[in-house]
């Protein structure tokens, strides 16, 4: 009996399809180079055993990832094997695509110019809002009437409102809308998670949040503060910069962010906390307690953004990309949500629109339907094994939470 044919190792890795290698790494379980000789049988390996094997051999996983990473972007040789006339057509299509990419970049640039044009129209409205919030001006009757809700309020609520207004008129007059921006930020979920109780004392002095476009692609967030006991800054800013070159679809690519330095007053730095630590003298053996400053969670860490890793730095923490993405998303939320609709975040009405958007997510509906279908299939297959009482309990358990959730949303 002849010896089984052995696979000859290729000089370079080959992509699994006649097309170019895809951008994503090929899966470990790919059978792209599976032998086709009947005398060679592939050993089966269940997923649990494979996972256990890789868990015990991290070096093996690293090696495989490195090998797969080398495949990304490499040609399979298919294009090179085409006749010259066909390759010429492929080159022509690339030329057409370049023209398309140029138009996409032009489109994004014109969209940015359009945003700047309308931002100039929004600015007087933002200035008017700031004047009312800070008490330098009062809203006109026209503005008040336009802002009233269409639905009639309950008589009891109207009575309570009138009593409250009368008491306020008898007491000291209130200037503007106290803690307007702090309340708006606390209703914005992504920002609320960053605000600590210590931060609130400083954010009460926040008088305005605005933005401006930079000369190069990017924008700057500007936080204005009244005089306070925490820092001497009148404004604290944070700028988001995009790269000079556009992305694949003409979009601007986020590069990095820079925050202004906060001039904290003595022992008022909210990004640090004092921690007691015991120290022992080596000679006298006496101990003493000293106070040291250690970093702590604070909203004001937002102005000291994480910096992207350099190409030469391979020892960067694995979560740096997530931190950069989160930092950029926070900036976008302030720019696109909080600033344009600050009053809706202050009243909490914006939360209803956020919840509505989440509820209308098509992917969520598809997932729910798939789960329901799976449950129905399981019930049909195993219905003979369950008595009536068990089935009714399962239905109640599945339906009651949905009804309660619906009622909560309506309320």
**Token pair for 255:** 């590069």
Task: Return the ∠ at Cα 92 (arms to 89 and 95), rounded to 5°.
Answer: 160
Low-confidence stretches of the chain (pLDDT < 50) are 1-42, 150-152, 154-156, 369, 371, 383-411
What angle do helix axes 388-410 and 362-382 make, rounded to 10 degrees? Answer: 170
Q: What is the pLDDT of residues 10-55, one digit of tens each?
A: 444 443 433 343 344 333 333 333 334 444 444 555 655 666 666 6
The whole-number pLDDT of residue 167 equals: 54
Contact between residue 342 and residue 325 where contact means Cβ atoms under 8 Å apart:
no
Contact between residue 268 and residue 231 where contact means Cβ atoms under 8 Å apart:
yes
Taking the CA of residue 241 as centre, how many other CA atoms within 13 Å lie in the half-sphere pointing to its CB?
Answer: 13
The whole-number pLDDT of residue 54 equals: 60
Handedness of CA 284, 285, 289, 290 (dihedral sign): positive
The whole-number pLDDT of residue 378 equals: 53
104-143+175-306+318-359, CATH topology level: Arylsulfatase, C-terminal domain (3.30.1120)
- Helix, strand, or coil (residue 292): strand
Measured in whole angstroms, how far is the alpha carbon of residue 266 from the centre of its chain? Answer: 34
The whole-number pLDDT of residue 90 equals: 93
The whole-number pLDDT of residue 405 equals: 35
pTM of the model: 0.64
The whole-number pLDDT of residue 306 equals: 84
Determine the Cα–Cα distance for residues 61 and 219; give it in Å rounded to an integer: 42
**Token pair for 207:** 């008088």
**Token pair for 144:** 């008040």
- 176 φ/ψ sector (left φ>0, alpha ψ -120 to 50, else beta): left
Q: What is the pLDDT of residues 145-179, one digit of tens each?
A: 988 864 445 444 555 555 555 555 555 678 999 99
Measured in whole angstroms, how far is the alpha carbon of residue 85 from the centre of its chain? Answer: 47
Q: Which residues contact 385 (CB under 8 A, 6 or more apart)?
A: none
Contact between residue 233 and residue 260 where contact means Cβ atoms under 8 Å apart:
yes
Alpha-helical (H) ranges within 149-209 are 155-170, 180-187, 189-192, 197-203
Query: Tokens 């600050």 appear where?
Result: 342
DSSP 301: G
The whole-number pLDDT of residue 244 equals: 80
Ranges of beta strands (E only) in 186-286 are: 206-213, 218-225, 235-242, 254-259, 272-280
The whole-number pLDDT of residue 321 equals: 79
């Amino acid at each position: 009996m002849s010896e089984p044919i052995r696979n000859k190792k290729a000089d370079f890795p080959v992509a699994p399809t006649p097309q170019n290698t895809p951008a994503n790494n090929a899966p470990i379980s790919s059978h792209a180079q599976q032998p086709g000789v009947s005398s060679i049988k592939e050993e089966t390996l269940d997923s649990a055993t494979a996972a256990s094997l890789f868990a015990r051999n991290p070096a093996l996983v690293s090696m495989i990832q490195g090998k797969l990473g080398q495949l990304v972007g490499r040609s399979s040789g298919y294009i090179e094997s085409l006749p010259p006339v066909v390759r010429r057509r492929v080159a022509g299509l690339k030329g057409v695509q370049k023209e398309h990419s140029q138009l996409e970049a032009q489109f994004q640039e014109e969209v940015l110019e359009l945003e700047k044009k309308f931002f100039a129209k929004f600015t007087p409205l933002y200035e008017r809002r700031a004047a009312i919030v800070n008490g330098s001006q009062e809203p006109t009757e026209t503005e008040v009437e336009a802002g009233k809700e269409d639905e009639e309020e309950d008589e009891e609520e109207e009575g309570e409102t009138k009593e409250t207004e009368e008491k306020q008129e008898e007491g000291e007059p209130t200037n503007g809308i106290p803690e307007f921006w702090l309340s708006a930020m606390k209703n914005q979920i992504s920002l609320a998670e960053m605000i600590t109780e210590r931060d609130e004392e400083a954010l009460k002095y926040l008088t305005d949040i605005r933005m401006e476009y930079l000369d190069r692609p990017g924008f700057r967030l500007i936080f204005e503060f009244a005089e306070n006991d925490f820092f001497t800054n009148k404004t604290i800013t944070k700028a988001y910069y995009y790269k000079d070159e556009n992305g694949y679809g003409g979009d601007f690519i986020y590069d990095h962010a820079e925050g202004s330095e906060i001039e904290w007053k003595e022992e008022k730095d909210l990004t640090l906390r004092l921690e007691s630590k015991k120290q022992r003298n080596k000679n006298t053996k006496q101990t003493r307690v000293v106070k040291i400053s250690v970093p702590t969670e604070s909203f004001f860490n937002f102005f000291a953004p994480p910096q992207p890793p350099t190409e030469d730095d391979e020892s960067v923490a694995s979560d740096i990309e997530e931190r950069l993405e989160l930092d950029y998303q926070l900036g976008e939320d302030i720019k696109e949500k909080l600033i344009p609709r600050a009053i809706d975040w202050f009243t909490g009405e914006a939360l209803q629109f956020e919840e509505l958007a989440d509820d209308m997510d098509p992917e969520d509906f598809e997932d729910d339907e798939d789960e329901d279908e799976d449950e129905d299939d399981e019930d049909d297959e195993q219905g003979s094994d369950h008595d009536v009482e068990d089935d009714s309990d399962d239905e109640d358990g599945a339906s009651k939470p949905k009804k309660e959730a619906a009622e909560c949303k309506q309320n």
